[in-house]
A and B are shown apart, each in its own frame.
Chain A
Amino acid sequence: MKRLVLAVLAAAAFQGAALADTVKIGVIGPFSGPFALQGKNFKAGIDAYMAMHGTAIGDDTVEIIYRDVPKADPAQSKALAQELVVKEGVQYLAGFYFTPDAMAAAPLLEQANVPMVIMNAATSAIVTKSPLVVRTSFTIWQTVTPTAQVAFEDGTRKIITVVSDYAPGHDAEKAFQAGFEKAGGTIVEQLRLPMATNDFSPIMQRIKDSGAEGLFVFLPSGPPTLGFVKAYNENGLNKAGIKFYAPGDLTQESDLPALGDAALGLRTTFHYSIAHDSSENTAFVAAARKAIGNPAELSFPSVGAFDGMHVIYKMIEATGGEADAQKAVDAVKGLSWASPRGPVSIDAESRHITQNIYLREVSKAEDGSYINKELRTFEKQGDPGLAAAK
């Protein structure tokens, strides 16, 4: 009897060891619904990384398990994260397009002994929710702060801010205000618009009447962005010399064909342009376009996912495929590498990515497609949002 129990235990142990040879990564993101394009970009970034670096790390094989949260839904995100850890036995959680989804899953990490690699969600505070969170995307404070500097250096002194009335919009409003007022400019008015705004003409009139020399805007990408940029041109704001400042979410590459000539000349600040000129980026774009199918659909979340995979591969290397979340996270603190977006590193203290932020202008490439052409580089930007929250 004793021998039998031992045999069973040994078999179980052996099987356990064999199972560890496959390291599972659970990716949560919007793979259906109105934000499916962003989820598709996660997948393209991940597929591109695995196509370029293989699926084997030492003796271990990496396996990705996708879970769909179509729109910001903290309860579902938490439930799926739990399911991934308990039922699928994932060693890493990754993805997370929306901040509330990441926030909801973060408290599970320590007990589950699982690190989380955020590939998009852009609110500064997420990294403070658990010591096992690492982020490879950007924060709104990080991309917006240089915009304020650009505006001031342009000679613009009076700005009106226009944001969608949701948390990222409020973040952008605060970040711009902080940067612009610190430089010495004045915010003449702050507008918050409902998410479901279709007609921006009255807003344009309001902007004109405010006496501002420039506007700062942050809206969710897709239909609102298109409507806003069109209204900006049609109501003669560009002719009136009211300057346009926004972070690059507004001119993401997948929206540019629809924006067309209306967007030409718009300047935005962001961490990544598909037109970034480097050999790493050329290789990445080729692989990611192949993975996504339609080249016009490639956009910034793909690079967050690509670098997220890089971080996870380094974690797996450091732990030898064993489940040790703290060791994995410690291994990537201070890690620096050449990303498709430029040189990046993981800040040891905040576990957020330090990267270059670029000032870009929407222009026409030689082949007639629209690109975000990089004009200027703000090097090694950390996340000012965390400091601002203290």
Chain B
Amino acid sequence: MQSALSVAVDALAYGMVLFVISIGLSVTMGLMRVVNLAHGAFAMIGGYIASYATQMLGIGYAAAILLAVFGTIAIAIPIERLLYRRIYGAPELTQVLMTIGITFMIIGIANYVFGPTLKTIPLPGELRGALDLGFRSIATHRIFAILCGLAVAALLWFLIEKTAFGIKLRASVDNASMAAALGVRTEIIYAASFAVAVGLAALGGVVGAELLPVEPYYALRYMVTFLVVVSVGGAGSIPGALVACLLLGSIDTAGRYWLPEFGEFFFYLSVIVIICLFPRGLLGRRA
């Protein structure tokens, strides 16, 4: 019983970290219909900015998160205008080729500028300790990641489902020319949602850095995990991504605790089963 509780705590923490990092990709793939393989690269840029800001400039953690989010958006906007705009609505293969190319370029630049070693983002004192839950202790930064995940999920759901921006976004995605005819500036809507997705990636890169440390190959190393989360949850669905992260986090953590010798067998087995039963993901939107 105690070990089951303990596994549940780890699963929740791991699942929420996955959620924070992957949700931006769910937005680009589900709402903007762009297979953005460079998502991890943007998360990595966020991580590098936060690491540089805290280590070299001595900026505090909270300010570093903001700097990482907005700095990454500032880097991503020109890329959106110059490159991504050309692939909206293009066939998937074109998108994959373009975004994997961008990923390799970012890896090369990161390697050149920051070197191949691991970079860390020092945590502030409040997040450094561990909280005693009675039957075990849990690192405070994991609780912070869980809270971040919940906050992101709530805000994003509100933004997409309840605001005028969200309505325009969904309209532009479903029928761009009709939305434009009705006076929606689709270009701005797309740029704004791309910025939101990239900002979320950067946030995930910083908050998740304790689990997925920042180094040049970050962008490729975790790409499969992000894609799995989005496809299991259903692209574009925030509750779907949340459910997928918690489910996959639980399966992965439980498998690792009880049957580590099976490696990632159960993780991928469950992915296969879910995709067979729900080809659009757990809560995917119908096209």
Residues of A within 8 A of B (CB): 33-34, 36-37, 40, 165, 191-194, 196-199, 201-203, 205-206, 209, 222-223, 226-227, 230, 234-236, 254-255, 257-258, 260, 294, 296-297
A227 touching B211, Cβ below 8 Å? yes
Q: How far is the CA of A33 from the CA of B120 in the complex (A)?
A: 20
- The interface-forming segment of B5-13, B80-88, B174-182, B276-284 is B5-13
Q: Select which of A165, A197, A227, A236 is within 8 A of B256 by beta carbon.
A: A197
Q: Select which of A197, A209, A255 is within 8 A of B118 by beta carbon.
A: A255
- Considering the complex of A and B, which 7 residue pairs feature the smallest CB-CB distances, nearest first? A194-B263, A258-B118, A202-B257, A234-B139, A37-B116, A201-B10, A202-B256
**A223/B212 contact (C-beta < 8 A), A201-B10, A235-B137, A258-B120 known:** yes
A205 touching B260, Cβ below 8 Å? no
A165, A198, A230, A235 — which one has the most chain B CB atoms within 10 A of its CB? A198
A226 touching B213, Cβ below 8 Å? yes
A260 touching B263, Cβ below 8 Å? no
A297 touching B260, Cβ below 8 Å? no
B257 touching A205, Cβ below 8 Å? yes
Q: Which residues of A contact B120 (CB under 8 A)?
A: 226, 258, 260
A199 touching B111, Cβ below 8 Å? no
Could you list 17 A-B pairs, sorted by A, with CB under 8 Å? A40-B116, A196-B264, A198-B225, A199-B10, A199-B211, A199-B252, A199-B253, A201-B253, A205-B6, A206-B260, A209-B3, A222-B215, A226-B118, A226-B213, A227-B213, A235-B130, A258-B117
B7, B120, B252 — which one has the most chain A CB atoms within 10 A of its CB? B120
A206 touching B118, Cβ below 8 Å? no
The secondary structure that dominates the A interface is: helix
Q: How far is the CA of A78 from the CA of B212 in the complex (A)?
A: 34
Q: How far is the CA of A236 from the CA of B130 in the complex (A)?
A: 9
Q: Which residues of B contact A34 (CB under 8 A)?
A: 216-217, 221
Count of A-B contacts judged by CB separation below 8 Å = 97
Q: How far is the CA of A332 from the CA of B45 in the complex (A)?
A: 49
B10 touching A202, Cβ below 8 Å? yes
Q: Select which of A36, A201, A255 is within 8 A of B111 by beta carbon.
A: A36
> How near does chain B come to A44, taking the closest CB pair, in angstroms?
13
Closest to A254 in B: B117
Contact with A along B256-287 (1 / 0, CB 8 A): 11001101100000000000000000000000
Q: Which residues of B contact A260 (CB under 8 A)?
A: 120, 122
Q: How far is the CA of A235 from the CA of B213 in the complex (A)?
A: 18
Does B14 interact with chain A (Cβ within 8 Å)? yes
B116 touching A36, Cβ below 8 Å? yes
Q: How far is the CA of A296 from the CA of B253 in the complex (A)?
A: 34
A199 touching B256, Cβ below 8 Å? yes
Does B119 interact with chain A (Cβ within 8 Å)? yes
Q: Which residues of B contact A40 (CB under 8 A)?
A: 116
> Interface size of B by Cβ–Cβ distance < 8 Å?
37
> How near does chain B come to A156, taking the closest CB pair, in angstroms?
22
A297 touching B263, Cβ below 8 Å? no
Does B185 interact with chain A (Cβ within 8 Å)? no
Q: How far is the CA of A160 from the CA of B106 in the complex (A)?
A: 40
A193, A202, A297 — which one has the most chain B CB atoms within 10 A of its CB? A202
Q: Which residues of B contact A209 (CB under 8 A)?
A: 3
A198 touching B136, Cβ below 8 Å? no
B263 touching A205, Cβ below 8 Å? no
**A205/B136 contact (C-beta < 8 A), A165-B263, A191-B260, A193-B260 known:** yes
Q: How far is the CA of A36 from the CA of B216 in the complex (A)?
A: 11
Closest to A226 in B: B213
Q: Which residues of A contact B256 (CB under 8 A)?
A: 193, 197, 199, 202-203
Q: How far is the CA of A294 from the CA of B113 in the complex (A)?
A: 12
A37 touching B137, Cβ below 8 Å? no
> How near does chain B come to A108, taking the closest CB pair, in angstroms?
30
Does B91 interact with chain A (Cβ within 8 Å)? no
Q: Which residues of A contact B213 (CB under 8 A)?
A: 223, 226-227, 258
Closest to A35 in B: B116
Q: How far is the CA of A260 from the CA of B123 in the complex (A)?
A: 12
A201 touching B116, Cβ below 8 Å? no
Contact with A along B82-126 (1 / 0, CB 8 A): 000000000000000000000000000001000111111010000
Q: Which residues of A contact B118 (CB under 8 A)?
A: 222-223, 226, 255, 258
> How near does chain B come to A196, taking the closest CB pair, in angstroms?
7
B14 touching A201, Cβ below 8 Å? yes
**A202/B253 contact (C-beta < 8 A), A223-B212, A223-B213 known:** yes
Q: How far is the CA of A336 from the CA of B211 in the complex (A)?
A: 45
Closest to A194 in B: B263
Q: Which residues of A contact B117 (CB under 8 A)?
A: 37, 254-255, 257-258, 296-297
Closest to B257 in A: A202
Q: Which residues of B contact A230 (CB under 8 A)?
A: 210
Q: How far is the CA of A230 from the CA of B211 in the complex (A)?
A: 9
Q: Which residues of B contact A226 (CB under 8 A)?
A: 118, 120, 213
Q: Which residues of A contact B3 (CB under 8 A)?
A: 205, 209
Q: How far is the CA of A301 from the CA of B7 in the complex (A)?
A: 39
**A192/B260 contact (C-beta < 8 A), A199-B253, A234-B139 known:** yes
> How near does chain A come to B116, taking the closest CB pair, in angstroms?
4
Q: How far is the CA of A234 from the CA of B140 in the complex (A)?
A: 9
Q: Which residues of A contact B122 (CB under 8 A)?
A: 260
Q: Select which of B115, B130, B217, B222 is within 8 A of A234 by beta carbon.
A: B130
A202 touching B215, Cβ below 8 Å? no
Q: How far is the CA of A236 from the CA of B138 in the complex (A)?
A: 9
Within residues 65 to 82 of chain B, which ones have a CB less than 8 A from any CB in chain A? Answer: none
Q: How far is the CA of A201 from the CA of B213 in the complex (A)?
A: 15
Q: Which residues of B contact A202 (CB under 8 A)?
A: 7, 10, 253-254, 256-257
A201 touching B13, Cβ below 8 Å? yes
Q: How far is the CA of A258 from the CA of B218 in the complex (A)?
A: 15
